[in-house]
Amino acid sequence: MKLAIDRALGEDIPIKMVYDLTATFAQQMQAEGVVATNKVSEALQKEYGLDEVQAGIVASAAASAFGGIGKAKGNSQPKIEQILKPEKNWETARNKALDLVGNLGADSKPVIGRLEVSTGNGKVIGRQSSDGKVGWRVASDPENQAMLVSGGLLVKDKTKAAISFMSRNTATATVKATEVGMQWEQENMKQGMLWEDYVGKSLPADARLPKNFKTFDYYDGATKTATSVKSMDTQTMAKLANPNQVYGSIKGKIDAAAKFKEYALSGRELTPSMIFNREIQLVIPADTTKTQWAEINRAIEYGKSQGVKVTVTQVK
């Protein structure tokens, strides 16, 4: 997906934006079976400060990439080619061309990409039908701003790999539940303490902070690393029905670690000057879904932007 977006804009796109788009599309596809690019565009304008045209291009390019995972429902594709009258600017010609390609049905969605072989700058705008294929495409000629509308396909199998990459399992380790002693049916506090004990086995004996210490559970003075140990049961009905809760929960933990100032309890004090590394050791079930992994990876990237490393271990 990132490649498709980069090609559409001709510049690099922040990886966090790509993860945000992937997570949003995955949720929409799971809930409604279709991507609403207008909603995504509005979110991009608000979150990243893009103007309407830029946001539309990014949302549409990402939709083009995401559409590659759609299942075919039919093979009929309209075949037509038409040269439009040159306009004063590219945006006007683009809008007129889109008026022509809007008849693929109410369930179609706009896309932007790049023709493998095309004239001019190769910009492509069209609408993607519900079967995951693009039946119309529009190429602009930078010299006279003419638009070429023709039948064809845009979405390639390689876009499936982009989506797969965003939803990949990035756990650094897999451990058996018997090793940790935890079961996901246990209450949150009990499973959290068991995971905290397990993490502590690989840290210095004096690294553990007092019980109920704010934000962090361990501090390694040798490496100046403050570690927050967290567990998350991704198999609850709420998190399965709304995967965005996974991102929101991890983000909250990241924000707490990033904004930590100072705290003292039972003779142990921790201040910002003592911390060089801020980390979160997160444990989740091995049955975590791909959609949830997209949210987790999105949170990991957010953590990087906040100076917090998120390490994920899965328990089976």
DSSP secondary structure, 234-259, as one string? TTSHHHHH-THHHHHHHHHHHHHHHT
Give the relative orientation of helices 15-32 and 290-305 as an angle to the nearest 10 degrees. 150
Among candidate residues 87, 196, 279, 295, the one labeled active-site is 196
Among candidate residues 20, 87, 141, 217, the one labeled active-site is 217
Active site residue 196: yes
Among candidate residues 230, 231, 239, 279, the one labeled active-site is 230
Active site residue 187: no
- Read off the tokens for 105: 């049905």
Q: What are the C-alpha distances in Å from 188 to residues 94, 211, 236, 315? A: 54, 16, 12, 15
Among candidate residues 41, 108, 228, 231, the one labeled active-site is 228
Active site residue 217: yes
Active site residue 230: yes
User: Could you tell me which residues are beta bridge partners of residue 112?
Assistant: 125
Between CA 253 and CA 219 the distance in angstroms is: 17
Q: In 185-249, where do the E strands start and end?
A: 218-220, 225-231
The residues carrying an active-site annotation are 196, 217, 228, 230
